[in-house]
Amino acid sequence: MKKHNFSAGPSILPREVIEKTAEAILDFNGSGLSILEVSHRSKGFEAVIAEARELFIELLNIPEGYSVLFLGSGASMQFAMVPFNLFEKKAAYLNTGVWASKAMKEAKGFGETIEVASSKDANYTFIPKDYAIPADADYFHITTNNTIYGTEILTDIDSPVPLVADMSSDIFSRPMDVSKYGLIYGGAQKNLAPAGLAFVIVKDELLGKVSRYIPTMLNYKTHIAEGSMFNTPPVLPIYSAMETLRWLKKNGGLVEMEKKNIAKAELLYNAIDNSKIFVGTAAKEDRSRMNVCFVMKPEYAALEADFQKFAQEAGMDGIKGHRSVGGFRASIYNAMPIESVQALVDCMNEFEKQNA
Ligand SMILES: *Cc1c(COP(=O)(O)O)cnc(C)c1O
């Protein structure tokens, strides 16, 4: 039976990327060696990381004056690296979920940290809009896509201070204006590559301004100076990232990707909105195109486990909601074809016909 992978992360990758990665594991570029056993300083791998960097710049239209880094250890390490490098006196955070508050918790260890707004009291079902960003903050931190709650900031907001964004789960899902950001980071395992890799896009002029000692490995300047090769980078995830970026480019880049993502999200949200038994959890105006969260209406709550089983048996994998929201979450990242979203919608409709 065909499996449809709705997992939140690690998550679906284009089939082609998985196949190309498998080929490189068996024989990297016809070298007779595996990508797993070559030096990260070999010519072959140098070309891979250079192409990945070039494709980041091309696809996201990254202006001059920014560096692109590939680092180990995921997005959570960036929660601390950001303040280490940018926090001098004060930082501001928008609290839109668990990831946002984990990022904010790290900043608090460095000094005065302002929570400009929070939707915690509403279990993060919406993105707060009415807030003021302190003009004397060193930076303002947002989480553009709240993977757990299915809310998303889809515009590149104007900030009077450097804007720092965790884009772990929506990078490359739409064209964006990188020049509005001071720093963008994320874990690769949602929309880019296998786990173990973080990407960072940083405006160079923001660095070197804090007075503290920054441990070598936590200093962005170290990695900029060495082209992400100060130490051994996560070679295999970088290889897969390069293949994903090639796939994105071949398929029309981010303009095309956004069209597909809008169509997929509309298909699924329409099914939820027209359902007798399911209901969405996120505020409509803040709905994520990447993670679609829904629950059973109260009168059908007893059917939750039944639908979970029904969907699993129909090949829908990974739709169980995060424990803090409950219900269901369908992650429909870039690599998810609309046919799989249609299969889920058909499955929901069939279950409704049998049970409502
Ligand atoms: C998954 C996720 C993280 C955590 O990523 P790790 O790479 O596991 O540290 C952080 N932020 C967001 C928005 C995420 O979706």
Mean pLDDT by 10 residues, the chain (356 residues): 96 98 97 97 97 98 98 96 98 98 98 98 97 98 98 98 98 98 98 97 98 98 98 98 98 98 98 98 98 97 96 97 94 98 98 95
pLDDT score, position 210: 98
pLDDT score, position 356: 85
The whole-angstrom separation of Cα 352 and Cα 100 is 35
Residue listed under structure tokens 């990447």: 290
For ligand 1, what atom is nearest to the CA of residue 146? 13
184 close to ligand 1 (CB < 6 Angstrom): no
For ligand 1, what atom is nearest to the CA of residue 74? 7
pLDDT score, position 15: 97
C-beta neighbour count of 160 within 10 angstroms: 12
CA-nearest residue, atom 13 of ligand 1: 168
Q: Residue 261: exposed, middle, or buried by beta-carbon count in 10 A (0-12, 13-18, 19+)?
A: buried
Distance from Cα 187 to the centre of ligand 1, integer Å = 6
Enter the DSSP assignment of 62. Answer: P
190 close to ligand 1 (CB < 6 Angstrom): yes
The residue type of 76 is S
Rounded-to-10 torsion of CA 134, 139, 140, 146: -160
Domain 253-355 falls under CATH 3.90.1150.10 = yes
Which residue, 189, 87, 144, is CA-closest to 286?
144
Active centre residues (catalytic): 99, 166, 190
pLDDT score, position 255: 98
For ligand 1, what atom is nearest to the CA of residue 188? 7
For ligand 1, what atom is nearest to the CA of residue 148? 15
Which residue, 23, 54, 64, is CA-closest to 245?
54
Taking a C-beta distance cutoff of 8 angstroms, is the pair 198, 188 a contact?
Answer: yes
The whole-angstrom separation of Cα 233 and Cα 247 is 22
The whole-angstrom separation of Cα 71 and Cα 187 is 9
Residue 61, sorted as left (phi over 0), alpha (psi -120 to 50) or beta, turns out to be: left
170 close to ligand 1 (CB < 6 Angstrom): no
Taking a C-beta distance cutoff of 8 angstroms, is the pair 254, 328 a contact?
Answer: no
7 close to ligand 1 (CB < 6 Angstrom): no
Domains 15-250 and 253-355 share a fold: no
Taking a C-beta distance cutoff of 8 angstroms, is the pair 322, 8 a contact?
Answer: yes
Backbone angles phi, psi at 141, to 5 degrees: -105, 130
75 close to ligand 1 (CB < 6 Angstrom): yes
76 close to ligand 1 (CB < 6 Angstrom): yes
253 close to ligand 1 (CB < 6 Angstrom): no
Distance from Cα 167 to the centre of ligand 1, integer Å = 9
Name the residue ranges covered by the structural domains of the chain: 15-250, 253-355
> How many residues make up the chain in this entry?
356
Distance from Cα 130 to the centre of ligand 1, integer Å = 26
DSSP 291-322: EEEEEE-GGGGGGHHHHHHHHHHTTEES-BPP
Q: Please state which CATH number belongs to domain 15-250.
A: 3.40.640.10
Share of the chain residues as helix, strand and coil, in percent rounded to the nearest 5:
45, 20, 40
172 by DSSP, 3-state: which?
coil
Q: Report the DSSP pairing between strands 90-95 and 140-143.
A: parallel
Distance from Cα 296 to the centre of ligand 1, integer Å = 27
pLDDT score, position 115: 98
Model-level pTM greater than 0.85? yes
Distance from Cα 350 to the centre of ligand 1, integer Å = 34
